[in-house]
Amino acid sequence: MSTKKQSSASGVSKFLDELGHPLRKEIDQLRSIILAARADLAEDIKWNGPNFTHDGKDRITMRIHPPTQIQLIFHRSGEVKVQPVAPLIDDHSGMLVWRTNDRAVTTLRSELDIAKRKSTLTRIVNAWIEATAEPE
């Protein structure tokens, strides 16, 4: 299931059940935080991990391999877009590592690490979705 999507939160849970990932608690903890941050996010599987979409567009993808850490990749989907001149959101927490001005990554390793960063992560998720929302 490389880049092919599997839809729905129940499909994601089933995928993770079958995977038997050693960081399953942490993955579920992050899924809960992200989905609680925005009622308008949907969840599916992309690149063999949980993926979060807004208005049908991929915005946050969870990289769960290798199974020693979890990375959240904040992006504007796989489409090639004109690069903004500055990072899309302000992040003074130091949590995000910018790969390009429209793609950032954060790495989390434990339940405690995730719990400590919950409010910052919630703020980042909301700011990211606002910054990447397509104009109507």
Show the domains of the chain with their CATH numbers.
6-132 (3.30.1460)
How far apart (Å, rounded) are the C-alpha atoms in residues 71 and 100?
Answer: 16
pLDDT in tens, 83-96: 889 999 999 999 99
The whole-number average pLDDT for the span 47-54 is 95
Per-residue pLDDT, 7: 53
Radius of gyration (C-alpha) of the chain in whole angstroms: 14
Phi and psi at residue 105, in whole multiples of 5°? -135, 145
Per-residue pLDDT, 2: 36
The whole-number average pLDDT for the span 14-20 is 93
How far apart (Å, rounded) are the C-alpha atoms in residues 65 and 69?
Answer: 7
Burial-class residue 24 by CB neighbours within 10 Å (0-12, 13-18, 19+): middle
Tokens of 54: 């807004």
Of 124 and 66, which is predicted with more confidence? Answer: 124
